[in-house]
Amino acid sequence: MSQSPSTSPSAVTTRDFLAMKKAGKRIVAVTAYDALFGRLVDEAGVDCALVGDSLNQVLCGEPSTLSATLEQMIYHGRAVRRGVQRALLVIDMPFLSYQVSREEAVRNCGRVMKETGAQAVKLEGGAAMVETIRALVEIGIPVMGHIGLTPQSVHALGGYRVQGRDDETAQRLEADAQALEEAGCFAIVLELVPAAVAERISRSLTIPTIGIGAGARCDGQVLVLHDLLGLNDAFAPKFLKRFANLADEVRRAVGAFAGEVRGGTYPGPEHSF
């Protein structure tokens, strides 16, 4: 007899995402890259912990997500899995891990699921990814789609720009969303899309949309954890709201530590054995 993964009885599933859409309940998603933050966001009650390939920029200082590797995503996915008990764990598939062929996509996505304990993977791209997504869903790998600004295509898109501002590209996004739903995606991220376009897409689908820079009418929202905490204070796009200013607090705390070490007041007797 098989056993369920090490998640709590109330763990969020892909079916819950569909039920939340139907009930009009907003989905909360944040990124997490390690066990500690995985545990903290899980305890805070998020619905989805996304191990985003944004870790390549946030943690590694790279200029884009393009150089993220499959091994890197698996390593961080395994770490986050140790911290997350309730939220749905989704792993970004990195550039060229799923675009070369359907067979390679199945192999790599299957490896991610097997080695991390994630419940789903996320793939970027619209209609061009339909056959790949369908192949994954058919063998039991849940897929979250991602359209609008797709960071792995940043050079083809001409930079980090809002997508769907004109009628032609807006209609293409709407068609892509419909194609992803028909292929079997259980949810779609809409990134840097005009609010009106994101609203039309959200209303047209039976699966939920999760927005980032796509207005308030999506079925949920996602932010990079380090951005919403104000740790990455050099990053300030229009769509971002900082819910804390931890960069200043980190500087203050480390500065206080340095001052006490240099002044000989730390460690004190109470910190010594």
β-strand partners of 89:
49
CATH number for the domain spanning 170: value is 3.20.20.60
Catalytic residues: 191
Residue 83: other Cβ atoms inside 10 A: 20
Q: Residue 186 falls within a domain, yes or no?
A: yes
pLDDT, tens digit, 9 for 90 and up, residues 57-88: 999 999 999 999 999 999 999 999 999 999 99
Rounded Cα distance between 35 and 12, Å, is 18
Report whether 53 contacts 68 (CB < 8 A): yes
**1 falls within a domain:** no
Please report, as a single letter, which amino acid is at residue 99: Q
Integer Cα distance of 198 and 213 in angstroms: 10
Q: Does residue 248 form part of some domain?
A: no
Residue 6 has what pLDDT?
Answer: 46
146 within a domain of the structure (yes/no): yes
Domain that holds residue 116: 14-242
The arithmetic mean of pLDDT across residues 130-144, rounded, is 98
CB 142 within 8 A of CB 48: no
Q: Is residue 172 one of the residues assigned to a domain?
A: yes
Q: How confident is the model at residue 3 (pLDDT cuts 50, 70, 90)?
A: very low
- The structure tokens 């990124």 sit at 31
Instruction: List C-alpha distances in Å: 237 to 177, 212, 234.
Output: 25, 11, 10
Q: How many domains does the structure of the chain reveal?
A: 1
Q: What is the pTM for the complete model shown? A: 0.94
